[in-house]
Amino acid sequence: MSGFFKSSIGRKVAMALSAFFLMFFLLQHFAINILSVFSPDTFNEVSHFMGTNPLVQYGLQPILIFGVIFHFVMGFILELKNKKAKGVPYAKNNGAANSSWMSRNMIWSGIAILAFIILHFIDFWFPEINTKFIQGDWSGMHEGVEGYRYFEELQHKFHSHIRTIAYVIAFVFLMLHLLHGFTSAFQSMGATAGRKKTLQNIGKAYSIIIPLGFIFIALYHHLKYVLS
């Protein structure tokens, strides 16, 4: 297994697999968060389930954190290895893709996304861990005890102009990162032969719709607060 990660192909495959996992999580995360716009009660119920389910908390959550760390560490390793070997950025495609901004700047868009993830953890995950596992207070998770706090917390975070702008900028960088990374991941797995155009179209749709959806959520709650 160690030999697999030492090879260039092995590292790219591992990077692609972690990318697929994170893209699936991103879709699931969006599906939950969009409920805050159309049905706050349903958003609270789903968030309550995710926040108290043992499988999610003790099984899936550690896997997700590992996946995020692994993806970014592997990305930096690939960047350094390819610059050292060839003097060119990681994951460049042949042809016209060589001149695309996304392919030349994956490392920088990745750093911007990592900074956003840290902000997102500070906003939501760290307080959640502190409340539930350090203080041992699960009361705010249950309906009827100060109400569900999920929706109120989400709304509160988007009261700030600066934080809302930061979220919007982060999702623009995510869009740029995905526009190249989606197809690149399939290419690393050897799944583009004869289907490259189709995968590119699917990738563009995913890479644009999902980040724009998150931007819509942030702006919706911010404008609702400003205009109220």
Q: What is the pLDDT of residues 21-36, one digit of tens each?
A: 999 999 999 999 999 9
Q: Do 37 and 217 touch, CB atoms closer than 8 A?
A: yes
Q: Tell me the longest C-alpha to C-alpha distance in the chain.
A: 61
User: What pLDDT was estimated at residue 145?
Assistant: 44
Tell me the C-alpha distance between 19 and 101, whole Å. Answer: 20
Residue 160 C-alpha from the chain's centroid? 21
User: What pLDDT was estimated at residue 181?
Assistant: 84
Fold of 2-227: 3 helical TM bundles of succinate and fumarate reductases (1.20.1300)
* Residue pLDDT, tens place only, 51-95: 878 898 889 988 998 999 999 888 888 878 777 766 555 444 444
Tell me the C-alpha distance between 206 and 216, whole Å. Answer: 15
User: What pLDDT was estimated at residue 208?
Assistant: 95
Identity of the residue numbered 152: E
Residue 41 C-alpha from the chain's centroid? 24
The model carries a pTM of 0.81
